[in-house]
Chain A
Amino acid sequence: MGITVVEVTKQFGDFVALDDVSVAIPEGSLTALLGPSGSGKSTLLRVIAGLEDPDSGQVLLGDDDVTDQPARSRGVGMVFQHYAAFKHMTVWDNVAFGLTIRKRPRAEIKQRVHELLELVQLEGLAKRYPAQLSGGQRQRMALARALAVEPQVLLLDEPFGALDARVRKELRAWLRRLHEEVHVTTIIVTHDQEEAMEVAGQIALINQGRVEQVGTPRELYESPANEFVMSFVGPVNRIGETFVRPRDIDLSLEPDSDAEEAMVERVVHLGFEVRAELVRHDGQHLLAQLTQEEVEALELERGLIVYVKPSRQTVFTP
């Protein structure tokens, strides 16, 4: 079921969390709400869930206007950053909660919980309490719990924010596979552009309560709508009014009429990818991204003088 947000505004006192936000989430998609902390992305998710009432505007699930419906009748599944595990219940009871309160037949609950625990790979841990699980396991349990009631949309509020980097990476890949299997319309809130790009098919970039751009990860990276989008979705060099990605800086040992002289300040090896920090003679600092092979060919090292030329640059006309 698709989600449509129409001109939603939400204030907390003087703070404008959402400023006339409209966004459409296609049915079956996995969309990321990306933005810096305090940008309003979580508030938007909570408005969609019904946990926060908008001051004005509408929320539509499919064709139904659910703006005035309470969270419990919207048919959304929600996963929270800090798991929101029911601490006094076992994994099994946590997952079964939504079905138990709906008074579904026992056999049905049993079968459904079994399926879900298998789906999130927690079959052996059904009798454990949340305190006996790792963070990643708790979050998978929370996902199974949200999926148990067969929600029309799945809302994930920084679901991997509290996990360590390795577990995060695993769970991202796992979430993508899960989405391919379950195919429920999903929104994931994150402040991590890498996470958004890796997981989502569509990204809505939010800043200061407004939607800056909506598009595929590639569209955001290749044709950013403005300066904010450009600098948020990846590293960028700003030279006066022009913006250049580190990947688009060409280095050469030979002087060239339109290349500028620069000195290598630092070379950082990140496996296959290498980052070179340069300083131009006019004091402008530049970040260049190269491959291991390029670095070897140039014999790049600290103190070396190189000639730099942007192969592609972007200028935003206001």
Chain B
Amino acid sequence: MIARYALRLGALGYLALLLLVPVGLVFYRTFEHGFHPAWAAVTNPQAQHALWMTLIIAGIAVPLNTLFGVVLAIALVRHRFPGRGLVNAIVDLPLALSPVVVGLALYLLYGTGGWLNTLSQHGIKILFSLTGMTLATIFISLPFVVREVVPVLREVGTDQEQAAETLGAAAFTTFRRITLPAIRWAVGYGVVLTTARAIGEFGAVSVVSGRIEGKTETLPLYVQSQFEGFNTTGAFAASVLLALIALITVLGMRLFRPTEEA
């Protein structure tokens, strides 16, 4: 009995100390001088622009990685093709690499002397622009949907899909009516993780963006720049904004929770 309570207390204490206290402190410091300074800090043009950049990048990266992630997961689980093992390993690469390295890799690829530098000579600007930052974010947040969906697809098996097939369902009908509902929750959870990563990404985006204030600055970069400029209220307020976006995503995804399975 005592052991059980001790275990709970330990787990909760750990959570509180390492997660709740620091995050709570950010909230406290944000609203320390009331609501108005915080509001002003997140409504100034530079902050607004950073918020937009973050939303646009996530708005492109998340749907793309969701679509691609589901297709990739199905390919990995349901099909046998040469190089399958390699693809499986490559999917994990963004998790294994430090984001800064990812940023540097893109920098080398598109920057002066890089293999794809010719693109910029033809007027297509990758580095220090929204395009490069989006590419970096897609790269970094690629594995989450795949990794969530693969085990669920395996677990579900092919029985239901084959049953649908014998009942006359074409491939896409089977996917829409049978496979997708079965992996819905996994996709939803993958989207939450992808979104969290996409809006929070700092390292890779920082390298490729060039960090031009009011131009190529996302919210996390803005937080950093404000913090370095001793505008702590601005930094904290933007942090709270980031946390709120994450919260909205999580709540939104709860709508996908399966209701019927026992």
- Does A11 have its Cβ within 8 Å of any Cβ on chain B? no
Chain B residues, CB < 8 A from A148 = 167
Known: A129-B260, A131-B260. A84 touches B163 (CB 8 A): yes
- Does A243 have its Cβ within 8 Å of any Cβ on chain B? no
Alpha-carbon gap, A263 to B260, bound state (A): 62
Evaluate contact between B169 and A85: CB separation under 8 angstroms: no
- Does A87 have its Cβ within 8 Å of any Cβ on chain B? yes
Chain B residues, CB < 8 A from A82 = 159
Chain B residues, CB < 8 A from A102 = 168
Q: How far is the CB of B138 from chain A (nearest CB, A)?
A: 30
From A15-23, A71-79, A107-115, A293-301, the one touching the partner chain is: A71-79
Evaluate contact between A87 and B177: CB separation under 8 angstroms: no
Chain A residues, CB < 8 A from B177 = 97, 101
Known: A86-B178, A131-B260, A132-B262. A149 touches B162 (CB 8 A): no
- Does A80 have its Cβ within 8 Å of any Cβ on chain B? yes
Looking at B160, B162, B167, which has the most chain A CB atoms within 10 Å of its CB? Answer: B167
A-B contact count (CB 8 A): 73
Evaluate contact between A80 and B162: CB separation under 8 angstroms: yes
Evaluate contact between B173 and A71: CB separation under 8 angstroms: no
Alpha-carbon gap, A88 to B177, bound state (A): 10
Evaluate contact between B168 and A131: CB separation under 8 angstroms: no
Alpha-carbon gap, A146 to B261, bound state (A): 23
Chain B residues, CB < 8 A from A74 = 166
Partner of B159, one of A73, A77, A80, A129: A80
Known: A88-B181, A88-B260, A132-B262. A51 touches B166 (CB 8 A): yes
- Does B93 have its Cβ within 8 Å of any Cβ on chain A? no
**Chain B 227-262 per-residue mask, 1 if CB under 8 angstroms from chain A, else 0:** 000000000000000000000000000000010111
Alpha-carbon gap, A152 to B173, bound state (A): 22
Chain A residues, CB < 8 A from B160 = 84-87
Partner of A145, one of B167, B170, B181: B167
Query: For window 58-82 of chain A, which residues contact chain B by CB distance below 8 Å?
Result: 70-74, 76-78, 80, 82
Alpha-carbon gap, A131 to B259, bound state (A): 12
Chain B residues, CB < 8 A from A308 = none
Alpha-carbon gap, A76 to B160, bound state (A): 15
Q: How far is the CB of A102 from chain B (nearest CB, A)?
A: 6
Looking at B163, B173, B261, which has the most chain A CB atoms within 10 Å of its CB? Answer: B163
Other A-B pairs, 12, CB within 8 Å; known A72-B168, A86-B160, A97-B169: A70-B165, A73-B168, A74-B166, A78-B162, A80-B159, A87-B261, A88-B181, A102-B168, A129-B260, A131-B261, A132-B262, A145-B167
Which A residues lie at the B interface, using CB under 8 A? 49-51, 70-74, 76-78, 80, 82-88, 97-98, 101-102, 129, 131-132, 142, 145-146, 148-149
